[in-house]
A = this chain, B = another copy of it.
Amino acid sequence: MTELAIASQDAAALETAPTRYIEGRGIHFAYRRLGPPTGPSTGPSTGTPLVLLQHFSGNIDAWDPAVVNALAADRPVIAFDNAGVGRSTGQTPDTVEAMARDAVDFIYLLGLSEVDLLGFSLGGCVAQQIAAEHGGLVRKLILVGTAPKGGEEHLLAVLQEAFSETDAPDPRLPLFFTKSSASRSSGLAFLKRTRVRKDDRDTDNGSAVTDPQAKALITWCATPDPGHALLRAIRQPTLVVSGSDDTMLPANNAYEMFKALGNAQLVLYPDSGHGALFQHHETFVSHVRIFLGA
C-alpha cells in the first residue's frame, strides 16, 4: 500500500487514529498519521508532512491532542515511537546521534523525501542532529523546550524533585508546568486531554527507555560544541520555542540557539515551564502555522 493510500484511511484525531506499523532495518515502528493526504494539489507549506520527535520518556500518547490535532487540521502530521519506545521494537539507543539515524530510517520507510520536524526536549536534540546532517530531507525545523549540544540541562535534579511530589497526579505536572495556579490548572487540562484515548494506547517501557534516553540527553549537554558547529550546519528556517521558567532545559538554551542559528525565529511564553507548548497550545499552534505557512 502506498503512503497516499494509507493516508486517505487515517482519522483526524490523535485519540482515535489507528496505530500503524512499518518495518525496516530490523525495527517495527509504531506511528499514527493525521491530517489530509498528501496529493499533487497540495502546496509545499501545508503539503509537507510534519514529523513529531518526542520528549524523554514519552510515547505517541504523551503528545497533547490539542496541539497535534490542531496542527493536523491542514497538514499531514506523523507521531511515532522511535526504536525501543512504546510499541516500536528495537533497542532505545543511548546517543542522540543514533536516535537521529533511527528516525531518519523511519521517515524514509514511509517513503517521504521532505518533511518538517517538530522536536520537543530530547526530540529537539534529535531534530537538530537530523537537520544538520540531512539538509535535503528537512524543509523547516521547530525546536521546543530543548538544548543545543553543550547546552544547560537539569534533568536528574528536576526528575528527582518531581518524583518527590507524591501528591502530584502525574510527574508531568511539576515537570512541565510552573507552580502558578494558571499553569497548574492548564497542566491538569493537558493531563486530561492525554487520557481521552482508552483503547490501543501506547505502552510505557520503563527504564529500558528512560535509562538510555537520560544518558543520551545528559551526554548531549555535556559534550561541548565549540562555536555551535552543529547549529551553524543547520540551514533550514527554524522556530525556537521555550517556556519562561523551564527548570529542566532553561530558556537560556533557546536564546543561545536563536543567536547561533542562521535563520531562526524565537518565541518565549510567559509563566510556563518545560510544557509551554501544551500550556499555551492555542498560541503555540498559531505560531507554528504562521511559521510553517498556512
| Chain A interface residues toward B at CB < 8 A | 237, 244, 255, 258-259, 261-271, 283, 286-287, 290
* Cross-chain contact B267 with A267 (CB below 8 angstroms): yes
User: Among B258, B262, B263, B286, which residue has its beta carbon within 8 angstroms of that of A290?
Assistant: B286
Q: How far is the CA of A287 from the CA of B288 in the complex (A)?
A: 11
Q: Which one of B265, B268, B269, B283 contacts A269 once the chains associate, using CB atoms below 8 Å?
A: B265
Residues from chain B with Cβ under 8 Å of A268 in the complex = 258, 265-266
Across the interface, which residues of B come within 8 angstroms of A290, CB to CB? 283, 286-287
Tell me, in angstroms, the Cα distance from A271 to B238 when the chains sit together: 12
Instruction: Indicate which residue in B244, B258, B269, B287 contacts A244 across the interface (CB closer than 8 Å).
Output: B258
Residues of B within 8 A of A264 (CB): 244, 270
Closest Cβ neighbor of A269 among chain B residues: B265
Find chain B residues with CB under 8 A from A286 CB. 286, 290
CA distance A253 to B274 in the complex (A): 24
Nearest to A258 among chain B residues (CB) is B268
A282 closest partner in B (C-beta): B290
- Smallest Cβ distance from A245 to chain B, in angstroms? 10
Contact across chains for A267 and B270 when beta carbons are under 8 A apart: no
Determine the chain B residues whose CB is within 8 A of the CB of A258 once the complex forms: 244, 268
Given the complex, which residues of B lie within 8 Å of A244, measured CB to CB?
Answer: 258-259, 264
Question: Given B265, B270, B271, B283, which contacts A270 in the complex, CB threshold below 8 Å?
Answer: B265
**Given A261-B270, A287-B287, 6 new contacts (CB under 8 A):** A265-B267, A265-B268, A265-B269, A265-B270, A266-B266, A287-B290
5 A-B pairs with C-beta separation under 8 A: A244-B258, A255-B255, A258-B268, A262-B270, A286-B286
Q: Which residue of B lies closest to A289 (CB)?
A: B286
